[in-house]
Structure 1
Amino acid sequence: MNYLKPRFVNKKRRFGISIPERLAKSLDALTQALGADRSSLIREALREYLHDHSHYLKPHECGGVMILLENRDHMYLLHILEEYDDIVCNYNHVHVGRYCIDIVVVSGSSSRIAHLHNRLLSELKCRIRYIPIGKCSLELAEDMQP
């Protein structure tokens, strides 16, 4: 027995989840293509999701990048962003082939950024990925290592 190693460093907890059949088939196809197992893929996906969202749990000043895909109402997006001009540092709209990509750089209160994120999700009905930047997101990522 190794007395120098903390007892719970690599402790794992097993739990079941229910997902739609199509999602399960996609997961199985990806595990086969990557030569990985389901648990590893789900663990990595969960780690990424927690990295991108857990900083909302503790109020702090931070920054990040919101990437919006499949947004059909650019004028309404601009209207919303004007209401958050205290945290929006930059906005860019680009085309990649026939696809539109909106990129919003934000900096400020984590609660205000979370409010903008949630509002965009609920009102625009598009895909949004928020990527936090800075020391806070890195510290949280270290806490979530396996």
Structure 2
Amino acid sequence: MKRRFGVSLPESVAVKLDELALSTSSDRSSIVARALEEYLHDDLHEHGEHVCTGLIILMSEKSIDVSSLKSEIIKAQLTIRSSAGYITVLYVEGFYGSVRNLRKKVSRRCVFTRYIPLSCVYMRRS
């Protein structure tokens, strides 16, 4: 079941949306629905403590020494030198509060950070 409603977008965003729809042979509604699902997942993910597994993606001008962070939630890392600088991908497992704190700590040294949750286990409150 779908629900229809109107959304006002800045002209530049609407133009980009039209271009994306044309280039992917898709429609605006499908693109907006997918984007909102991603946004809502990220936003809702931050509410309530839980155990999660995910990727923290970092982009920085200089290589980041992840070993100095001494974080038990970092299970693996990959660093790539690109024309834009360094891209580091951290595979993390642990309580979301620890993931959030780690991301906050490393973001001070980065141009860009993003957390992509892969799985979450929410704790029931008694």
Question: TM class by shorter-chain length?
Answer: 0.7 to 0.9
- Aligned-partner residue type, residue 132 of structure 1: P
Structure having the higher helix fraction is 1
Change (3 A) 1:84 1:53: farther
1:115 lines up with 2:101 in the alignment: yes
Unaligned ranges ≥5, structure 2:
none
- CA offset digits 1:11-61 (Å, max 9, x no partner): 525252443x33332211101112222222111011123334422212111
1:12 to 3, 18, 41: 3
Identity of aligned residues (%): 27
- Normalised to the residue count of structure 2, the TM-score between the two structures is 0.73
Unaligned ranges ≥5, structure 1:
1-9, 138-146
Alignment of 1:1-146 (within 5 A): 10-12=1-3, 14-19=5-10, 21-69=11-59, 71-74=60-63, 77-78=64-65, 82-83=68-69, 85-96=71-82, 98-99=83-84, 100-121=86-107, 123-134=108-119, 136=121
Query: What is the RMSD of the two structures over their aligned residues, measured on CA atoms?
Result: 2.8
Structure having the higher strand fraction is 2
Change (3 A) 1:120 1:22: farther
The count of residues paired between Structure 1 and Structure 2 equals: 121
Runs of 4+ with deviation above 6 angstroms: none
